[in-house]
Structure 1
C-alpha cells in the first residue's frame, strides 16, 4: 500500500515533475520532428512535405486535411479538419489516446531514458544562404506577380466563372469593386511539379497590415462556377521571407472604419459582409485567424466563426477575440446558430445564407444581439 505524501512531499514532487517537464521541453525544442516520427505512425509524410502541403490525415483519413505548422520542429504543432494541436504534447496525446503522464514517459523513452537530447544523433542544420533566400523570394514574387497580372477584374466579362461561383453559393449580394479578388481564365494546377489541370480560378490577394502583398489564395473552379476536379481545390502560394503570410488577410474592404468584420473562408466572409454591411476581411483559415493583425484605427471587431465538429473554428475565433480584448479593442464572436448537418464537418455563414436567405439571416437573434448595440453606439 502506497504511503500518502505529506503536503511538503507533495509540493516537492510537483516541483520535480515541473522541472522535468521544463527540461524535456528544452530538449525537444528543434527536435520534435525527429522524436515524433517514431511515436506517431503516418507523420513522416507530413514532415517530408513541409508546412505548406496537406496530406491525408493519419488520424481520421481525410484527404488533404492534415498539415504541420511552420515551426513544427520547435513546437510539434499541427492542424487538420479533425483538430488543432498547438504543440507536440497535444499531438502525441491525441495520436496515442493517452494522458500527459503516459506521453511524458514515451518522450523520455524516445530520448533514451533521459531528459535531454544528448542521445539523439547530432543534427546537421543547414545555415540559410542569403543568396538562396533572395533567389527563392525573387521566384515567388515573380509567380505572384505573373498570376495576379494575368487575372482579370470581376467586372470583366471573362470573369464569369467567379461570378457564377458566387451565384452558385447564393452570394447574391456581393458589392464591388472587390479589388482583392480576380478571375484567372486558365491557371495551371501542379502536382509533383507537373501540370495536371488548367482551368479558371478565383485568385485573392493577401496583404499585411501595411498593405504589402504577401501571397495569393487560389480556388480552382469550372467554367460554370463549381469546384474543379483537382486534388486540393484551394491553395496558397509560397510565402516570401520579407512578407510573411502570417498575419495577413484577403481584404474585401480597405475603408478606415472603426468596425471591422473578420471571417474564415472567402465565401463565409462574403456572406457575413452581405448580412451586416461593415468592412470585411477573410483570414482564409483557422491558423491565419489566430495570427491576424488588426489596424490601430479599428475600435471594434466582429469575428464570424465557423461551427466545426471539433471546435477548431470556434477556438480560433475565441483566441482572436481574447487577444483583441487584451489589446483594448471591443471584440465579439458570432457563431452560426445551426447544428452541423449529418455527414458534414462544419457549418459556416455561407451555409446559413444558403439555408434561409439573406433577409432571414439578418433577423437571426445571434446576429441582432451583436449588430444592434454596435450600430447604436456608432450613431
Structure 2
C-alpha cells in the first residue's frame, strides 16, 4: 500500500515537477521540430513542408487541412479544422491521447533520458540568404500583382460567378463596392506544381494595419456560384517577408468608425455585416483571428465567432476579445445560437443567415443584447 505523502513532501514533489517542466520548456524551445516528429506519426511531413503549406491531417485525415505554426520550432503549435494546439505539449497529448505526465515522460525519453539537449544532434541554423529572400519576395509580389491585375471588380458583367456565389448564400444585401473582393475569370489551380484546374475564383485582398497588401485569399468556384471540384477550395498566396500575413485582414470597410466588427470567413463576416450594419473585416481563419491588428480610432469591437464542435472558433474569438480588452478597447464576442448539425464541423453566421433569414437573424436575442446597448452609447 502506497504511503500518503505529507504536506511538506507534496510541496517538495510539486516543486520538483515544476522545475523539471521548466527545464524541459527551456530545452525544447527552438527544438520542438526536432523532437515531436519522432513522437507523432505523420508530423514529419508538416515540418518538412513548413508553416505555409497544409498537409493531410495526421489525426482525422482531412486533406490539406493541417499545418504547423510559423514559430513551430519555438512553440510546437499547429492548427487544423479538427483542433488548435498552441504548444507542443497540447499537440503531443492530443496525438497520443495521453496525460501531461505521460507526455512529459515521452519527451524526456526522446531527449535520451535527460532534461537537456545534449543527446540531440548538433543543430546548424541556416542563415537566410538576403538575396534569396529578396528573389522570393519579388516573385511572390509578382504573383499577387498578376492575379489581382487579372481579376475583375464585382460590378463587371464577367464577375457573375462571384455574385451567384453570394446569392446562393443569401448574401443579397452586400452593400458598397467591396473593392477588396474581385472575380478572376480563369485562375489556375496547382497541385504539386502542376496545373490541375482552371476556373473562376473569388479573390480577396489582405492588408495590414498600415494598409499594405500582404497577400491574396482565393476561393475557386463554378460559373453557377458553387464550390469548384478541387482538393482545397480556399488558398492563400505565399507571404512576403516585409509584409507578413499575421495581423492582417480582408477589410470590407476602411472609413474610420468607432465600431468595428471582425468575423472569421469571408461569407460569415459579410453575413454579420448585413445583420448589424457596422464596418466589417474578415480574419479568414482561426489563427488569423487571434492576431488581427485594430486601428487606434476603433473604440468597440464585435467579434462574430464561428461555433465549432471542437471549440476552436470560440476559443480564437475569446483570445481576440481578451487581447483587445487588455489594450483598453470595448470588445464582445457573438456566437451562433445553435450548434453544428450531426456530421457538420461548424456553424458560422452565414449559416445562421441562411437558416433564419436576414430579418429573423437581426431579431436574435444574442444579437440584440450586443447591438442595442452599443447603439444607445453611440447616440
User: Aligning the two structures, in what range does the TM-score lie when normalised by the shorter sequence?
Assistant: over 0.9
Alignment partners' CA distance in 1, 2:58 and 2:128? 31
Q: Which of 216-225 and 59-68 deviates more?
A: 59-68
Alignment partners' CA distance in 1, 2:29 and 2:136? 27
Alignment partners' CA distance in 2, 1:193 and 1:55? 15
Asked whether 1:358 is paired with 2:358, we answer yes
The corresponding residue for 2:94 is 94
Alignment partners' CA distance in 1, 2:360 and 2:178? 25
The corresponding residue for 1:132 is 132
Any gaps of 5 or more consecutive residues in structure 1? Answer: none
Alignment partners' CA distance in 1, 2:221 and 2:49? 25
CA deviation vs aligned residue, 1:205-246 (integer Å, no higher than 9, x gap): 000011010000000111111111111000001111111000
Alignment partners' CA distance in 2, 1:125 and 1:330? 43
8 Å contact kept, 2:76–2:91 = yes
Asked whether 1:273 is paired with 2:273, we answer yes
RMSD: 0.9
The corresponding residue for 1:298 is 298
Alignment partners' CA distance in 1, 2:58 and 2:156? 43
TM-score, normalized by length of structure 1? 0.98
Alignment partners' CA distance in 1, 2:320 and 2:158? 38
| CA deviation after TM superposition for structure 1 residue 339, in Å | 2.1
TM-score, normalized by length of structure 2? 0.98
CA deviation vs aligned residue, 1:30-60 (integer Å, no higher than 9, x gap): 2111111111111122112211222221112
The corresponding residue for 1:80 is 80
The corresponding residue for 1:215 is 215
| CA deviation after TM superposition for structure 1 residue 3, in Å | 3.3
The corresponding residue for 1:187 is 187
The corresponding residue for 2:289 is 289
Asked whether 1:28 is paired with 2:33, we answer no
Alignment partners' CA distance in 1, 2:342 and 2:100? 33
1:251-270 to 2 correspondences below 5 Å: 251-270=251-270
Alignment partners' CA distance in 1, 2:241 and 2:19? 36
Alignment partners' CA distance in 2, 1:293 and 1:8? 47
Asked whether 1:375 is paired with 2:372, we answer no
Alignment partners' CA distance in 1, 2:296 and 2:370? 22
8 Å contact kept, 2:309–2:339 = no
The corresponding residue for 1:148 is 148
Asked whether 1:115 is paired with 2:111, we answer no
Local SS of the residue matching 2:290: helix
The corresponding residue for 2:325 is 325
CA deviation vs aligned residue, 1:188-209 (integer Å, no higher than 9, x gap): 1111111111111100000001
8 Å contact kept, 2:271–2:353 = yes
